[in-house]
Amino acid sequence: MTYTIIYEKISELSFPPGYYYAHIPTLDLTTHGLGIDGAKEAALDLLKLWVIEKKANNEPIPVEAESFYSKIEEDIEAGSTGSK
């Protein structure tokens, strides 16, 4: 199984510097780790445990069909939205 992971640098003061969120949209799973590599490792660990539990309960495991990624930017001062 292959899933897309989206990484986002954590800027919350409760986290030490250098931590990232790792989000698997298809499964709605999110974890975090130190650096991109740490976040990816945490996501893989979470995914493995999640799949084991789903299989143990005879629950379906969603398959990612297709993913796209884009950004939008809100210019609060000008009140316009633009795509990047």
Domain residue limits at 44: 6-65
CA dihedral 54, 57, 60, 63 (to 10 degrees): 10
The span from the CA of 47 to the CA of 59, in Å, is 15
The span from the CA of 20 to the CA of 75, in Å, is 25
- Is residue 78 one of the residues assigned to a domain? no
pLDDT, tens digit, for every residue of 5-45? 999 999 999 999 999 999 999 999 999 999 999 999 999 99
Q: What's the pTM?
A: 0.80
Structure-token pair, residue 44: 């893989």
- Is residue 71 one of the residues assigned to a domain? no
The span from the CA of 5 to the CA of 26, in Å, is 9
- Is residue 60 one of the residues assigned to a domain? yes
- Is residue 36 one of the residues assigned to a domain? yes
Total number of domains in the chain: 1
pLDDT, tens digit, for every residue of 46-58? 999 999 999 999 9
- Is residue 44 one of the residues assigned to a domain? yes
